[in-house]
């Protein structure tokens, strides 16, 4: 089959690779119909995150048609499914608490040692990411193997187009959980750093959960305009002092809840000798937690801090004093995708959530390499690239 | 030092004499780890009690063949080829604990596995303890570490695979059987 593979910094290639096979009883094989490039794929593209190997297939936002099933899969051939980026077994302690992204059984045992050392607990399995998260081949390909296919994938009713539901795989539930973690109460003002796909979905979600006002912060004019379209007020941090503006816009109290949808994943890891460096605990201190620092300092006393933005290592000058003295509550984590799928699918079906506005480019899978370049270099207007195997450009 | 020991297992002690207190035969290295598994302890014990099941999740075990009641012949991949020994069951408390020790062979070693109820909703706490004299001493240990066949590394992974198999009915993998492992 054809697949987008990683070979090094700014070096991804379309290659012919072996088709995936059923390896375990609960597996299914999906024929990809739509797959997207995620902001976090760019950090692999920029080679900031270690434990990728040459030839790894990228992609963790995908959907398609079931073409093969293992004996314990509950899917049927021909069904259309969206697949969560988190690989979750459904029966471990964390899955039983619906903390699907903390699943203990999705990551092959031989890939868990480094995560245990870095974080104290190994990471769970994710599609198309690194070998810290299992080394699973991703979905920017013609076919993908899906483990635990009886737990993860959600079946899509006939008649719902791919473009409406594709983002159930990651960024829509991630934006939704970001708003849920902000524990929004009626009358709240919610400030959101970052108007990428997750930030924009968090804007919509925050209003759905009863926010009175949402203030979106970014520097790309087109992205700020999208936030405005969903009812957010905006701050362009290149033109305006964000802290001063937030204080003025909230009567000097500060936002009731703040959401960091920026993260610093791009600078969270370095490829060499992570295990030894963790002991020094200064090496990874070069992350850029600017958005998080600002969010914590701006948040009102007794307010809530939600962090969907990805952090990987250590940060310097974390405002622990502001966090404690102001009595902030902090919630964070990779998205428990499976928990949110039925509800979000229903809301898309009812027209309560707009998902397609985000798609700026649709390309054939064969042009994935160009898609990465565009997504990296034209961030203002290239908000989301969707790849479709076999798509004929008009 | 205080006369009263804390409640942590002996193998995490900073005192090497305390660490070795669970070595059944005075072996030089003791390793232990506890992992929670969301299955009843009787079921976990029963699976473990049939030693023929163990190679399904233990990467370095080639075979465990019953010899007679309480005795089995173990063949294990090591840094310099296969090792063999005969193990004798030294303790058997159904649903609670099982211990064994080598009585001849290439590597003096012993082991013990315990099954205890965790707090409500937290499954069974499974604790494995291995004691062994590293094959060919220090050099053998260094080679084993390089090839990732060091007992402590492989035993940790084995316990994780045991958990996966018991909780999900399968062992997570990305490697087709006809290809070399990826990492």
Q: Which ipTM did the prediction report?
A: 0.90
Length of chain A as a residue count: 394
Give the model's pLDDT for residue A118: 85
Place A273 in a pLDDT band, splitting at 50, 70 and 90: very low
The residues on A that touch B, with CB distances below 8 Å, are 18, 21, 23-26, 51, 53, 72, 89-93, 96, 104-113, 125, 131, 134-137, 147-148
Chain A partners within 8 Å of B36 (Cβ): 93
> Contact A110/B163, CB-based, under 8 Å?
no
Give the model's pLDDT for residue A269: 39
Gap between the Cα atoms of A58 and A47, Å rounded = 13
Place B4 in a pLDDT band, splitting at 50, 70 and 90: confident
Minimal Cβ distance to B163: which of A104, A137, A147: A104
* Closest chain A CA to residue B120: A93
Domain with CATH 3.90.180.10 in chain A: 2-170+335-388
* Closest chain A CA to residue B123: A93
**Quick one: tokens of A129?**
């990411």
Predicted confidence (pLDDT) at residue A315 exceeds the cutoff of 80: no
Q: Which of helix, strand or coil describes residue A327? A: coil
Q: Which of helix, strand or coil describes residue A103? A: coil
Average pLDDT, chain A: 92
**Quick one: tokens of B153?**
């590394």
Q: Where are the domains of chain B?
A: 27-168
A175-332: CATH, from 3.30.565.10, 3.30.390.50, 3.40.50.720, 3.40.50.12160: 3.40.50.720
Record: fold of A2-170+335-388? Quinone Oxidoreductase; Chain A, domain 1 (3.90.180)
Please tell me which of A107-116, A268-277, A360-369 the model is most confident about, judged by mean pLDDT. A360-369
> Contact A92/B156, CB-based, under 8 Å?
no
Place A277 in a pLDDT band, splitting at 50, 70 and 90: very low
Average pLDDT, chain B: 88
Gap between the Cα atoms of B134 and B107, Å rounded = 8
Which residue of A72, A109, A131 to mutate against B (max B Cβ within 10 Å)? A109
Predicted confidence (pLDDT) at residue A80 exceeds the cutoff of 70: yes
Domain with CATH 3.40.50.720 in chain A: 175-332
Decide which of B77 and A306 is more confident: A306
Whether the CA torsion A168, A174, A176, A177 is positive or negative: it is positive
Q: Per-residue pLDDT averaged across B131-137, rounded?
A: 75
Residue A187 burial (CB count, 10 A):
10
Predicted confidence (pLDDT) at residue A115 exceeds the cutoff of 90: no
Give the model's pLDDT for residue A139: 98
Contacts of A141 (CB under 8 A, 6+ apart): A1, A2, A3, A4, A17, A32, A35, A57, A59, A365
Give the model's pLDDT for residue B138: 61
Parallel/antiparallel/unpaired status of strands A233-236 and A257-260 = unpaired
Q: Per-residue pLDDT averaged across B135-141, rounded?
A: 64
Place B146 in a pLDDT band, splitting at 50, 70 and 90: low
Predicted confidence (pLDDT) at residue A285 exceeds the cutoff of 70: no
Minimal Cβ distance to A93: which of B123, B168, B177: B123
Contacts of A315 (CB under 8 A, 6+ apart): A264, A285, A287, A289, A292
Place A317 in a pLDDT band, splitting at 50, 70 and 90: confident
Place B145 in a pLDDT band, splitting at 50, 70 and 90: low
**Quick one: tokens of A202?**
């968090």
> Contact B183/A137, CB-based, under 8 Å?
no
Task: Please state which of the ranges A44-58, A78-92, B41-55 shows the lowest mean pLDDT.
Answer: A44-58
* Domain B27-168, architecture per CATH: 2-Layer Sandwich (3.30)
Helices (H) and strands (E) in chain B, counts: 4, 7
Chain A partners within 8 Å of B38 (Cβ): 91-93, 96
């Amino acid at each position: 089959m054809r697949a987008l593979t990683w070979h090094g910094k700014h070096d991804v290639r379309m290659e012919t690779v072996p088709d995936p096979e059923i390896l375990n009883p609960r597996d299914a094989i999906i024929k990809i119909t739509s797959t997207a490039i995620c902001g976090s794929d760019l950090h692999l593209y920029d080679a900031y995150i270690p434990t990728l190997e040459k030839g790894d297939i990228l992609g963790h936002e995908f959907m398609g048609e079931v073409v093969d099933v293992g004996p314990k899969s509950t899917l049927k051939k021909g069904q259309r499914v969206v697949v969560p980026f988190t690989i979750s077994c459904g029966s471990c302690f964390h899955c039983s608490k619906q903390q699907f992204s903390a699943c203990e059984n999705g990551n092959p045992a031989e890939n868990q040692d480094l995560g245990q050392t870095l974080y104290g607990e190994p990471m769970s399995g994710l599609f198309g990411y690194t070998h810290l998260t299992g080394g699973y081949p991703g979905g920017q390909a013609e076919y993908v193997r899906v483990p635990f296919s009886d737990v993860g994938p959600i079946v899509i009713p006939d008649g719902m187009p791919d473009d409406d539901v594709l983002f159930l795989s990651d960024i829509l539930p991630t934006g939704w959980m970001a708003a849920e973690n902000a524990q929004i109460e009626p009358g709240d003002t919610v400030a959101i750093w970052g108007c990428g796909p997750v930030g924009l979905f968090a804007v919509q979600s925050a209003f759905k959960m009863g926010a009175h006002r949402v203030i979106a912060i970014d520097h790309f004019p087109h992205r700020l305009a999208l936030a405005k379209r969903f009812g957010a007020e905006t701050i362009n941090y290149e033109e305006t002092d964000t802290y001063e503006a937030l204080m003025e816009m909230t009567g000097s109290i500060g936002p009731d809840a703040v959401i960091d949808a920026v993260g610093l994943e791009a600078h969270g890891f370095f490829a060499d000798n992570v295990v030894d460096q963790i002991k020094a605990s200064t090496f990874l201190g070069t992350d850029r937690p600017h958005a998080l620092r600002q969010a914590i300092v701006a948040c009102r006393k007794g307010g809530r801090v939600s962090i969907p933005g990805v952090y990987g290592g250590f940060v310097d000058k974390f405002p622990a004093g502001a966090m404690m003295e102001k009595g902030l509550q902090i919630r964070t984590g990779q998205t428990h995708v499976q928990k949110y799928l039925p509800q979000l699918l229903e809301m898309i079906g009812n027209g309560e959530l707009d998902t397609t506005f985000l798609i700026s480019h649709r390309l054939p899978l064969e042009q994935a390499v160009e898609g990465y370049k565009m997504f990296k270099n034209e961030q203002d207007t290239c908000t989301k690239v969707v790849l479709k195997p076999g798509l004929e450009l008009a | 030092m205080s006369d009263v020991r804390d409640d942590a297992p002996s193998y995490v002690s900073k005192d090497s004499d305390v660490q070795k207190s669970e070595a059944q035969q005075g072996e030089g290295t003791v390793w232990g780890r506890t992992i929670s598994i969301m299955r009843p302890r009787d079921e976990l014990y029963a699976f473990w009690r049939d030693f023929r099941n163990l190679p399904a999740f233990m990467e370095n075990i080639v075979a465990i063949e019953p010899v007679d009641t309480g005795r089995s012949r173990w063949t294990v991949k090591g840094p310099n080829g296969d090792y063999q020994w005969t193990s004798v069951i030294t303790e058997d408390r159904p649903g609670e604990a099982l211990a064994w020790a080598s009585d001849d062979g290439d590597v003096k070693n012993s082991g013990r596995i315990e099954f205890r109820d965790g707090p409500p909703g937290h499954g069974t706490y499974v604790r494995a303890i291995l004691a062994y004299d590293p094959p060919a001493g220090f050099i053998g240990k260094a080679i084993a570490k390089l090839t990732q066949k060091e007992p402590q590394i492989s035993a940790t992974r084995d316990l994780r695979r045991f958990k996966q198999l018991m909780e999900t009915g399968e062992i997570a993998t990305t490697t087709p059987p006809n290809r070399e492992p990826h990492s």
